Copies of this chain bind each other. A is one copy, B any other.
Amino acid sequence: MNDNFVSNEKLLEQLKWRYAVKRFDPDRKISDQDWETLEDSLILAPSSYGLQPWKFYVVTDEAVRKELTEHSWNQPQISECSHLVVIAAKKDADRGDIEKYLERVIEVRGTPEEELEVLKGMMLGSQKLLEEIGFINEWAARQCFISLGFLLGAAAMKGIDSCPMEGFQPTEYDKVLGIADDGYFSVVVCALGYRNKEEDWLSKLPKVRYPKDDLIKRV
């Protein structure tokens, strides 16, 4: 670790440069190294208790993307982007997911099992509360949006364009990509690649945000 952090100017320059791209340049692909880094960014995204209740479907196959386009109100991003990521949440996460995670903790950190008993109790307690209010799937879905935010930020740092998309038919996606069979459900989609400056009228417009003082309250 060194102090060579990203400067405030550079960070904001990249975040301001980002916008939800409507038209990607279909001829420009994200390089293998850059793509690997974006996948790693997804993996490194935090989640509640570190449970990672998600799976990421990376779609590059043209025929599959054509099919998905039909289930996405024919939005051109689905087929024109370089890499399409479908972020899916674990369906009906249960005790087994917590046990699987703790086994992984033991594997990675070498923690003795008995030292994890208190944590396990807390995790099971939290899960029970979520189950009681019928919120277990929504809890997992919310986590997916953290990974989306993480991915969008990471891509912006790399000068890679993106478009987060909620306008798609989740049940159709779940069928086409086998997501339901895997025990997950699709939550949100993110198209990544490079903007087509000529075609995308949005690329020339200023970002619309409310004034800072309307959105931030200091206490």
Contacts and interface: CB of A to CB of B under 8 A. Distances in A.
Interface of A: 1, 3-6, 8, 10-18, 20, 33-34, 36-37, 39-46, 48, 50, 52, 54-61, 64, 101, 104-105, 108-109, 126, 138, 141-154, 157-159, 164, 166-167, 177, 182, 205-210, 212, 215-219
Nearest to A47: B164
Contact of A41 (B12, B104, B143): B12
A190 to B, nearest CB: 10
Given A14-B5, A58-B216, A210 B157 contact: no
B209 A56 contact: no
Identify which of A3, A36, A48, A210 gathers the most chain B CB atoms within 10 Å of its CB. Answer: A210
Given A42-B216, A142-B142, A34 B61 contact: no
11 contacts: A3-B159, A5-B157, A39-B216, A52-B209, A55-B215, A57-B217, A105-B208, A108-B206, A147-B149, A150-B152, A177-B217
A59 B153 CA distance: 24
A166 B205 CA distance: 36
A154 B8 CA distance: 10
Contacts of A206: 108-109
Given A44-B16, A207-B44, A209-B43, A54 B219 contact: no
Contacts of A105: 208
Contact of A43 (B3, B14, B151, B212): B212
A35 B216 CA distance: 12
Contacts of A164: 46, 146
Contacts of A157: 5-6, 11, 153, 157
Identify which of A8, A17, A141, A144 gathers the most chain B CB atoms within 10 Å of its CB. Answer: A8
Given A12-B44, A41-B15, A50 B208 contact: yes
A208 B52 CA distance: 10
